[in-house]
Chain A
């Protein structure tokens, strides 16, 4: 083996594929895993399918709205629906989610109105939902910052003395493969480990940080990093909603009962662009995308439902219709979303009276009013 003097040894280790936890094959066949038993009723599976389809439809609508100039930007989750729905449906009301800006599927599971997600990308607000009400923190744009917030929140849960009780929750931090290079993520791992905080680190390894492939971030599979910090790590098939559900459920339960943090690497693929301003044709091969299409997270659930006679055409059509209706509502709501009042930018900067906010708000109000007077005269 020749070693490149600049790049070192060929970076194959990070992309080598140790067997991920899988409970549903790409062909829609149910398989068992000794560590992750999962009992699901037909209703449960149909509900997961509905979540997956609606989430993808919301995402597609947002992409379309961006193309039509209604949103400034959108970060599509296409291909990552199973990772998000599986993990999102593993949570209880007591848990707290700290998302990036791509967790539209988790937001759906936490009953955040998708219109609120659009508000951020339309430029109407920076996130118009109450995190406490939904157990879903604001989207975080700076890569990895939220992992520390999640860890601190988990330390707070610990200090509340609720771990092990029925009302115990845990924190779950979402981030991507690129984020694992950030100092904050590594510091979060350290803090979570030494304080044994009730947190699950849920890394969606979608293989690409904008144009940079995984080997620019890591020489070893990401889940193996956990060992160096002193907590368990596991790789799960991120396109398998059953496996994501089972693995996250077990990790969260361990955290809630005081057994400390865990890293889950959901091995998946970003089927679309990084955001609507990105052009993946400049940096990746079509063949790679095609190979991942065969592992589609929705198709395998549909195949399983069909094969087992757990759902009929009427069910699938019903879900499609519902998703379409939700998308239509979303579009309508987006177009009707009013621009905020100019003077509102001075609000909520501080809790208490702040003379500078007041002064500049008054000056700007007077300035704006001067145009109205001109028009009137």
Chain B
């Protein structure tokens, strides 16, 4: 084992580098990904080592980036696209939803679209509008896409490589406020958890907390605080949102009887609604209380001076946990 202490951002960078070393067809493309290394420096140094043909500074046009990535994939390449910020993905939504997601099915399986769309997501960095959004539900709603969200450096390192290796298009969410979190990462291991498997990141018995991306850390903090009050929360990092590892979720809720879902996206019609519905279907007779959701309010993302109120924090998670016990 070669353990290196890496930030989450550096872990993605290292994973990208490994994928590019292993397969000459892997390309990186996006706005400012070359000399600058991306606005978050996730592609730092890659153009210097792999050249401008493989690390492509594109014109400032998101639909163009994804549309040409599709064409490159049709020619046998594996493009990894960087969308600079979550709120900038919408000009590319047509190419992702209408073209990328459906091309395999439209061709009866003849075409393969191994395109990865990396999206720094979520709030908490004091940014201006359109820089703090959580658009995952738009993409989990689209058949043909895989949607994953990493929450920690080790997963970021492996999951970016698994996404690139995937024959299906992958929307890869990166929790931008966790880019600087550090952890030991085994950069030589190829013994990876299955790409679409959820992981119990803290075992517990009294209630199940479901989270992904930036919320996982918040939920772990909430679980530590709850433990002081004698409540044992099981925290599950879903990791893959589509497909969803429903067996892992159901196994936990069947045991605990209570479930709280946490995400930064607005609760109304958010990903948590799907989780609540599925948990209710699978675990109905085991549930001691309705599945509760904690998330962003159903408003546009607020100015950053208000974001601490908008984002689910430890107290709002514990409040929801309290409510499931008070039912």
Contact = CB atoms under 8 A, between A and B. Distances in A.
B53 A184 contact: no
A190 B64 contact: yes
B69 interface: yes
Contacts of B103: 138
Contacts of A354: 243
B67 A152 contact: yes
| Most chain B beta-carbon contacts within 10 A, residue among A131, A140, A151, A191 | A191
B68 interface: yes
A131 B74 contact: yes
Contacts of B111: 131, 138
Contacts of B244: 355-356
A109 interface: no
Nearest to A199: B71
B168 interface: yes
A138 B110 CA distance: 11
Given A188-B64, A352-B168, A152 B71 contact: yes
B304 interface: no
B282 to A, nearest CB: 11
B105 interface: yes
Contacts of B58: 191
B95 interface: yes
A351 B74 contact: no
B113 to A, nearest CB: 9
B144 A349 contact: yes
Interface string A345-377: 001111110111000000000000000000000
Nearest to B146: A350
A194 interface: yes
A356 B72 CA distance: 29
Interface residues of A, number: 43
Chain B interface residue number, banded: 35 or more
Given A130-B107, A131-B110, A149 B70 contact: yes
Contacts of B305: none
Which label, helix, strand, loop or mixed, suits the secondary structure of the A interface?
Answer: helix
Contact of A153 (B64, B74, B105, B143): B74
A20 interface: no
B108 interface: yes
A132 B110 contact: yes
Interface stretch (A22-30, A76-84, A156-164, A200-208): A156-164
A347 B64 contact: no
Contacts of B110: 129-132
Given A187-B67, A188-B67, A156 B106 contact: no
Contacts of A188: 64, 67-68
Interface stretch (A45-53, A120-128, A210-218, A316-324): A120-128
Interface in B86-141: 91, 94-95, 98-99, 102-112
B291 to A, nearest CB: 19
Contacts of A194: 59
A142 B98 contact: yes
Interface string B258-287: 000000000000000000000000000000
Given A187-B63, A350-B104, A356 B243 contact: yes
A150 B105 CA distance: 19
A190 B61 contact: yes
B167 interface: yes
B105 A348 contact: yes
A351 B107 contact: no
B25 to A, nearest CB: 9
B76 interface: yes
A145 B72 contact: no
A155 B144 CA distance: 25
A357 to B, nearest CB: 8
Contacts of A130: 107, 110
B114 to A, nearest CB: 9
A153 B68 CA distance: 7
A148 interface: yes
B75 interface: yes
A153 B143 CA distance: 24
Given A190-B59, A194-B59, A350-B146, A149 B99 contact: yes
A348 B106 CA distance: 8
A284 to B, nearest CB: 30
Nearest to B109: A348
A179 to B, nearest CB: 13
Contacts of B71: 148-156, 171
A56 interface: no
14 contacts: A126-B106, A131-B110, A142-B94, A145-B95, A148-B64, A148-B71, A151-B64, A152-B69, A183-B63, A187-B59, A191-B68, A347-B109, A348-B105, A355-B246
A-B pairs, top 6 by smallest CB distance, nearest first, are: A152-B71, A148-B67, A156-B75, A152-B68, A187-B64, A351-B167
Given A142-B98, A159-B72, A351-B167, 13 more contacts: A130-B110, A131-B74, A138-B107, A145-B67, A145-B94, A149-B71, A151-B71, A152-B72, A153-B74, A154-B71, A159-B75, A183-B61, A183-B91
